[in-house]
Structure formats: structure tokens, C-alpha cells
Structure 1
Amino acid sequence: MRFVAPDFATISVRASLRYDQSDPYAVHVMFHPDNPESEHVSWSFARDLLSSGLVEPSGIGDVRVWPWVTPRGDAIALALSSPDGNALFEVSKSLIARFLRRSYAVVPKGKEPECLDLDVAVAKLLAER
């Protein structure tokens, strides 16, 4: 993944994508700090948003994704916004497509409700109070 600076210079960032069938609608991006004493940062958002962003601008709000062409090839732009600031990243389109194919092999599109354990989800929500 590459961070895109305001002048469009890019900097490599250590990050990983994760999909968990127990949270079937979401994908997770984990940013890994270079400093081992720093905490990692994690963003979660809809798998469908990432999928749509491969072909058209998608998302309104904190997470937006759209096709992006770079000197390194086709990519997607991933824009993240929070009260602490905004960040723009570029990610290889082929990497995202491969990640999504693997996630759909685990839980096919439309089969997400079959993976939800509502009792666990409600208990988790109640425990967070």
C-alpha cells in the first residue's frame, strides 16, 4: 500500500488486508507502524464498498474507494477520513481483486447472513456498554 501525499508523491506503508467469515460483511485494513512501540491502526468497512471501488467511485463519508491509474499500473484509491485527519492511499487493483476473490471463496456474495451468529453479535454489543 502507498500513502499519497498532497503533492502526489507516494510513500510505501506497511499494511495488511483481512477478512473474517464471522464478520462476513466487512473487510479490515491493518496499518503496521515501523516503530514497534507504536500501536497499529485498523479500519473496517464494507466488503461491497471495496468491491464496487474496483470499477466505480464508491462510498460517502469516512471511507471512499475509486479506480486509480498510477505510473505503476492500475490501482484503487482508498480515502480514509477521521476526526484526526484524512489520508489517501493507493493499492494495486490486482491485489484487491485477488483478496476479494479469496474472501468470496470463503463467504460467497449473498451468503453473508448464513455466517452471522446473532446471539454472539448481540452479546458482544451488550458487553461493550
Structure 2
Amino acid sequence: MPAHHSASGPRPRPEATSTGIVLGARLVLGEHESVDVPVRFDYRSDDPLAVALEFLGPAAEAGTWWFSRDLLWEGLQKPTGLGDVRIWPPCPCHGRTSLRVMLQGGDGGAVLVGLPARQVRRWLRRESFALVPRGSERSLLDWDGALDALTTG
């Protein structure tokens, strides 16, 4: 499945700090079949609204997906998302402790991946929100540059 990048709004400013984490995930192949795959989440202060989920190793062909950091955070609490990215929180009542992320490509193919919810939550809280606190993302965007790009291009 090709990499996917959601459309961005205003152009971010050039100075950047970043954080990332490599996790062991489960690529769901069917109702009772899955395989272990490594993935990496990245967050950069120069693209403060998004996180990147990169598939590594044998699953690298699934590409890199960018989506809303808020969507990932909300997905840890409740089912969320429409369209290309949908997220479901752990469901202890059904014996599922993983965060589920479904990524649907333009070709109609979909990838369902189970992620360790505690590690994702901890990374968001301790690292990405430490770089750019929730709610302050828009203050880092270059609104004038975005407006210029829209009016000149």
C-alpha cells in the first residue's frame, strides 16, 4: 500500500525539534491471524498537527502515514476517525488491550494494526506534548506563508 499524506493547512515554520518511538505492533491479517511488525511514530514541532506512523522491516511496503496527533490521542479514549484513518481504544471488556488503527488507502486496500496503547499514551504525554503542548499547535504555524502559498500558487 502506498504511503499516504493528508493535506496540510498552513505551512509550518522551519525550526524543528522531534521525537519518535519504535514499537512492536500486530498487523491484523484476519479474525484470528496477525503478525508482529515494527513501526515507528514520529512527531515534529515544525508539523505540529500531525504524527507519522512508519511501517518498518517486512511491513515497510505499507509506507508512512501522516495523520492528526489529536486523532491519535482521542482514539486512546474513544472510537474516532472518518475516511482514511480510524482508531479504536483498548476494550478490556472484549479482552483487547491494544489500540487499533485502520488505515485505508486510495486503492481501497486497508491495513489494521494493533499498537501497545500504554506505550503510545506515554509517548504522546511525555514526549510529543512536551515538545508542543496540546492546544498550542496552531501558534507554531506560519499563517502568512500559508496565505501567500494559496494566493500565489
* TM-score of the two chains, using structure 2 as the length reference: 0.70
- The answer to whether the 8 Å contact 1:73/1:92 transfers is no
Answer yes or no: is 1:22 the counterpart of 2:72: no
How has the CA–CA distance of structure 1 residues 123 and 29 changed in structure 2, closer, same or farther, with 3 Å as cutoff? farther
> Which one of 106, 110, 113 corresponds to residue 135 of structure 2?
110
Whichever residue aligns with residue 105 of structure 2, its letter is: S
Equivalent in 36, 44, 63 of residue 85 of structure 2: 63
Instruction: Say if 2:49 is the partner of 1:6.
Output: no
Q: Quick one: distance in 1 between partners of 2:145 and 2:122?
A: 30
Corresponding residue for 2:74? 52
In the alignment, structure 1 residue 98 sits paired with structure 2 residue 101 = no
Greater displacement, 55-64 / 38-47: 38-47
**1:80 and 1:87 in contact (8 A); partners too:** yes
Give 2:98's aligned residue: 75
Counterpart contact for 1:45–1:63, Cα < 8 Å: yes
Deviation of 1:21 after TM superposition, in Å, equals 0.5
Residue pair 1:68, 1:90 contacting (<8 A) in 2 also? no
**Alignment TM-score, normalising by the size of structure 1:** 0.82
CA distance in 1, matches of 2:101, 2:119: 13
Corresponding letter in the other structure for 1:31:
F
The 2-side partners of 1:27 and 1:58 are apart by 16
Residues 25, 93 of structure 1: alpha-carbon distance in 2 compared, 3 angstrom cutoff:
same
Matched-pair contact (CA < 8 Å) for 1:16–1:31: yes
- Identity across aligned pairs (percent)? 35
What value does the CA root-mean-square deviation take over the aligned residues? 2.9
Number of paired residues?
126
Name the aligned partner's letter for residue 66 of structure 2. S
**Per-residue deviation at 1:68?**
3.0
Per-residue CA deviation, residues 10-32 of structure 1 (Å, 9 max, x unaligned), is 20112100000000010100112
Conserved? CA contact 1:24–1:107, under 8 Å: yes
Unaligned runs of 5+ in 2: 1-24
